Structure 1
Amino acid sequence: MAVRVYRGLSPVPAVDAGDRGLAYGDGLFETMRVARGRLPWWPAHHARLARGAAALGLVAPPRDWLEAGLAALLAGAPSDAVLKLVLTRGAGGRGYAPQGAGEPTLVLSLHPLPAAIAAPLVLRWCTLRLALQPALAGHKHLNRLEQVLARAEWDDPDVHEGLLLDARGRVACATAANVFARIDGRWLTPRVDECGVAGVARAWLLDRVPDAAEAALSPADVESAEALFLCNAVRGILPVGRLGERRWPPHEGLRALAAAMGRELAAG
């Protein structure tokens, strides 16, 4: 795994032990698909990173400098991989107050693509519920303990993912993906104004699919949907075949949608 660490705009050998990202999850991250040595959705990832940095009061590196660093790392990367970017507030003293933190920390790392999933996904409902926090909703911040605890609920290799509800009992997302349900002829996805992540693949679908929209969804809405899929910026669209006892046959329109997103993700 190739890793590069920066403090401010200068390379350093490792992350400082007092980094606020380690101590408090005080930072953001982006997980990006590498295709043919390039980042197909980089503009969307950078835009989300910039929004998150503004919301948290983090100092993001200049875009041209960051893109030069990404290009240097990708020059030695496999043709297809995953690139993770972590931005933290930097090292600071003990205590939650962000004042006095040093220069921001940036970590860039390359990882292998996850193994392909050949069959439609099998899902389960998670017991853990996501807390409501509008100040953090939508942003890809480093504090993912809710997702860690939710993913620890099962160890069955035949279950691919878990769906999470929020504290109000509404469908929120999967542990590592957004969810879309086909209801009354439309693709609907939960809102991300109180919890959840505004996924890059989710945004692509909302922008390009005429009948896609945000909605408040109950578990009953999802279980009675005509079709269901998960999506993220690394794997693209993943059709769901079963959720608990509910099963879905292949959806013809979903095949074309998945193929269209797959072509973009593989374009490089």
Structure 2
Amino acid sequence: MDDRGLAYGDGLFETILVRDGVPLLWEAHMARLERGCRVLGMPLPDSRALACLPAEAGPGLCVLKLMLTRGSGGRGYLPPDAPTPRLRWQTAAFTPRPEHWRDGVRVRHCRLRLAIQPLLAGLKHLNRLENVLARSEWSDPDLAEGLLCDSEGRLVEATCMNLIWQRNGRLETPCLDGCGVAGTLRAVLLDRLPIVEVKAGPEIAADAEAIWLVNSVQGVWPVARLDDAKGVPLANWKIGTGHRRLQAEAHALLGYPVAFAR
């Protein structure tokens, strides 16, 4: 009960796709975890101990979730001078959503606005109340995701995925210097493709030629329809070969097939 992760969200987590005991995008996940430890002032767990964990997942496709807290101690919000981090993990079998790869998904804008905190921007820290509240805005099973803006009205991310879109033939993604989670698949795609980080309002989504939702577990979901926060349609896209190029690049990294439009 005195764990600081439980009490204050004082910690970090990683959600890693594992195929037959082999973790995907492991280096990117470890780099983000290391950066998070550096920002929070926590020692990073032993790399050899971390490297052994994916084998715990066993055969098949699984998700390995790592949770690292500052541990116990300190006085109130004041952390201990010499923290003893607590590492916990679990594995679970995973089945992706190929119909989302193939047919695309319907998304909506959320009413909730993300708070701006540059020091924590990009980190996958344990305090995710904003995402919980945003996800509670809808219960329609036909809606796959919600798009989030920050408190200044800039488009940032989806509730649990990153955003990439094409505008005037150029691939763009929101700049995450104020808030949001810098996903590992997004990071690798930024290194491999000419994707430009931009600051833009939510109206850019409806004007885009194509939009994708990406993360390192689900892969790439093309967006077929965008609604406002009240469910009014704003834009529709026909999912075709133009959507597959980005999907092919990303899915090659995750061992997923490239979907084909009907």
- After TM superposition, is the score higher than 0.5? yes
Which position in structure 2 is the counterpart of 1:255? Answer: 244
2:34 aligned with 1:45, yes or no?
A: no
Secondary structure of the corresponding residue to residue 255 of structure 2: helix
Equivalent residue number for residue 169 of structure 1:
153
What is the Cα deviation at residue 192 of structure 1?
0.7
Q: Which segment is superposed worse, 86-95 or 175-184?
A: 86-95
Summarize the Cα distance change of 1:194–1:117 in structure 2 as closer, same or farther, 3 Å threshold.
Answer: same
**Cα distance, 1:59 vs. partner?**
1.2
1:195 aligns with 2:179: yes
**Does the aligned pair in 1 maintain the 2:23–2:54 contact within 8 Å?**
no
1:85 to 66, 70, 74: 66
Letter in 1 for 2:43: V
| Match of residue 235 from structure 1 | 218
For residues 68-107 of structure 1, what are the structure 2 equivalents within 5 Å? 68=52, 70-74=53-57, 77-99=58-80, 102-107=83-88
Check if 1:178 corresponds to 2:162: yes
Alignment match, 1:35: 19
**% same residue:** 49
2: CA distance, partners of 1:184 / 1:228: 12
SS in structure 2 at match of 1:135: helix
SS of alignment partner, residue 36 of structure 2: helix
Unaligned runs of 5+ in 2: 228-232, 257-262
Residue 225 in 1 paired to residue 214 in 2? no
Residues 228 and 71 of structure 1: is their aligned pair in 2 closer, same or farther, counting only changes over 3 Å? closer
Distance (Å, rounded) in 2 between the aligned partners of 1:203 and 1:67: 21
1:153–1:114: structure 2 CA closer, same or farther, 3 Å change rule? farther
CA deviation string 1:171-190 (max 9, x = no partner) = 01000000011111111111
State the alpha-carbon separation in 1 of the partners of residues 111 and 205 from structure 2. Answer: 16
**Structure 1: which 5+ residue stretches go unaligned?**
1-16
Change in 2 beyond 3 A, CA 1:160/1:196 = same
Paired with 2:16 and 2:55, the residues of 1 have a C-alpha distance of: 16
* TM-score, normalisation: structure 1: 0.88
Shift of the alpha carbon at 1:111? 1.5
Q: CA deviation at 1:228?
A: 0.4
- Write the distance in 1 (CA, Å) between the matches of 2:25 and 2:241: 26
Q: CA offset at residue 72 of structure 1? A: 4.6
Q: TM-score, normalised by structure 2?
A: 0.90
Cα shift readout 1:27-84 (whole Å, capped 9, x = no counterpart): 001111111221021011001100110011011112122213x15523xx23101110
Alignment: residue pair count: 247
Which SS does the other structure have where 1:90 is aligned?
A: coil
Q: 1:250, CA displacement in angstroms?
A: 1.4
Structure 1 residues 104-183: aligned runs within 5 Å? 104-118=85-99, 119-183=103-167
Q: Hey, which bits of structure 1, 4+ residues long, moved more than 4 A?
A: none
AA aligned to 2:254 is L
Match for 1:137: what amino acid? Answer: A
Cα shift at 1:217: 1.7
Question: 1:181-239: per-residue Cα shift (whole Å, max 9, x none)?
Answer: 111111111111000011111112111112x1100121111111000010001011110
Q: Distance between the aligned counterparts of 1:179 and 1:71, measured in 2?
A: 27
1:61 aligns with 2:45: yes
Distance 1:154 1:95 in 2: 35
- 1:109 Cα deviation from its structure 2 partner: 0.7
Distance in 1, Cα, partners of 2:151 & 2:125: 19
User: What is the rounded CA distance, in whole Å, between the counterparts of 1:79 and 1:152 in structure 2?
Assistant: 31
